[in-house]
Structure 1
């Protein structure tokens, strides 16, 4: 039985979906609202890529996005939620894959360890004033901070 080009393209697309399914990651924008000064946000610096990022990671099989962001922030920066995280948005991340999305949550009720001890994944985790972010803070991190704290228009792209 002959398969036409259109049928072959659909078959290849279906196989790719099985081999490379939709990926969902989570990031948490932890905001420390300080009286009398600018808000501070929690950023992490990984051991394996340059720059400062919002903490987060992948959603495991059988795990909700909310549970994943709570787990990732506890693992990466010792953050414990004291109130529910607020979903800011779900963003398409075409840089890693055409099937990659990131759910970004805002957390402003929390407590955390006073100092992060470096490990194999996270070299540093610390709060920065939104007015004095490190120069190598990633573009996507800056965009989410601007959207949440400065009222910038929300993008669909990570």
Structure 2
């Protein structure tokens, strides 16, 4: 027999058992930041090949927007007011990784003083660069380039859900 909310201890144990069986999702939270010329900020991590958008992985029970702000503060010394959510991208399992939800937020424009002072603040990044959107697409891996492209199309509009960087019904496996 299933417990009921009338027995809070049994009910919470029942809910905890169900919660333990449900899928867990990895969550990343990146930020689209531009300089006054409209160039996109990219970062070069030290722990993996290639370029990335600023941001990172959420910690347990951390909201995606909090993760994005925390990562920018830790890695770049930037306090950013997020202007909104541009896209959420479901990333399928790949390599050793389970699936993930990738959030990409609009961080607006970095002013000249911040741009001049911008540099890695910890050992997770080796360099930062503002690059054109076309150059960003060439430097990023395909999945992240698709996500960035979708986000740039969404600036000033409603947010969008993606699946592996594609609109849900337009994935390559459909």
Same fold per superposition (TM over 0.5): yes
Contact 1:52 1:134 in 2 (8 A): no
Instruction: Judging by fraction of residues, say which structure has more strand.
Output: 1
Contact 2:41 2:53 in 1 (8 A): yes
Counterpart residue number, 2:171:
none
Contact 1:76 1:125 in 2 (8 A): no
Contact 2:75 2:120 in 1 (8 A): no
- CA displacement 1:27-71 (0-9 Å, x = unmatched): 11112342xxxx211111111211111111122234221111111
Q: TM-score, normalised by structure 1?
A: 0.70
Structure 1 residue 124 displacement after superposition: 1.0
- CA displacement 1:92-115 (0-9 Å, x = unmatched): 1112213x2111111114454623
> What are the residue-to-residue correspondences of 1:147-158 with 2, within 5 Å?
147-150=150-153, 155-158=162-165
Counterpart residue number, 1:11:
none
Q: In structure 1, how many angstroms separate the alpha carbons of the residues matched to 2:71 and 2:120?
A: 15
Counterpart residue number, 1:54:
53
| Change beyond 3 A, Cα 1:155–1:134 | closer
| Change beyond 3 A, Cα 1:32–1:115 | closer
RMSD: 2.9
Counterpart residue number, 1:97:
98
Contact 2:36 2:109 in 1 (8 A): no
Instruction: Judging by fraction of residues, say which structure has more helix.
Output: 2
Q: In structure 1, how many angstroms separate the alpha carbons of the residues matched to 2:21 and 2:89?
A: 19
Structure 1: segments with no counterpart, 5+ residues: 1-13
Structure 2: segments with no counterpart, 5+ residues: 1-17, 155-159, 166-174
- CA displacement 1:77-98 (0-9 Å, x = unmatched): 23221x4331112211112213
